[in-house]
Amino acid sequence: MSMPSTHHPLFDTADCSEGQTGNVWFIGGVLGAGRAVNRSCTVSAGTALFLNITANGPVDNTGCDATGAFIEPTAFSIDQLRANADSALDARIDSRGQCEIDGVDIQHLSGLDPPYRVQSTVFSYTIPPFDNLLVLINGPCYENPPAADLTVDEAVADGVYVMIHPLAVGRHTIRFGNPNRVPLGNVYHITVTETGK
């Protein structure tokens, strides 16, 4: 959310290393899931991968009105935000999520309540004043938010995610998708290098 929407991995316009830090990297498809991705990534040994299969978020108290103007924040409680995130994902989740790693199928990604479906902890995020993801998601009012960098303090997300333990040094292929949209059509070609090389 803190990255400009141009040159952003969610649109396949940036290297998968863009914005990544630490020993867990986030990977996924493209915003809106309208098309498949085919990406090549190089990661250091010891890097875990957090894969978004299907997600909805952030859900928070900010928004745009029907005219496209920024509105005063609503006052949903955390429990209400969680319920909103849950129902929003229920309305769009595919019942047959799929993922395979080096040809091995990940089981139990199906249904509305698979074991890989989780809600986030409460988090905050800051968007850039221009060229931010919320303009694309929620409307033009975020092109000029009330603050130079708008920070939202209470947000939650709901989704189906897979945490992939660090892969062995070498080449790997991760495929994911769903039969109704892109059956295993999202592909990551992962090259794991020795740390520091």
Number of H helices, E strands in the chain: 2, 10
pLDDT of residue 171: 97
Task: In whole angstroms, give the CA distance from residue 47 to residue 39.
Answer: 17
Query: What DSSP character marks residue 106?
Result: P
**pLDDT tens, 133-144?**
877 777 677 766
Higher pLDDT, 148 or 7: 7
Q: Is the pLDDT of residue 197 over 60?
A: no
**pLDDT tens, 104-129?**
999 888 776 778 888 999 999 888 87
**pLDDT tens, 161-178?**
899 999 999 999 999 886
Length of the chain: 197
Q: How confident is the model at residue 96 (pLDDT cuts 50, 70, 90)?
A: low
Query: What DSSP character marks residue 166?
Result: P
Percent of the chain topping pLDDT 90: 30
Q: Is the pTM of this model over 0.85?
A: no
Task: In whole angstroms, give the CA distance from residue 28 to residue 99.
Answer: 11
Domain spans in the chain, listed from the N-terminal domain onward = 9-193
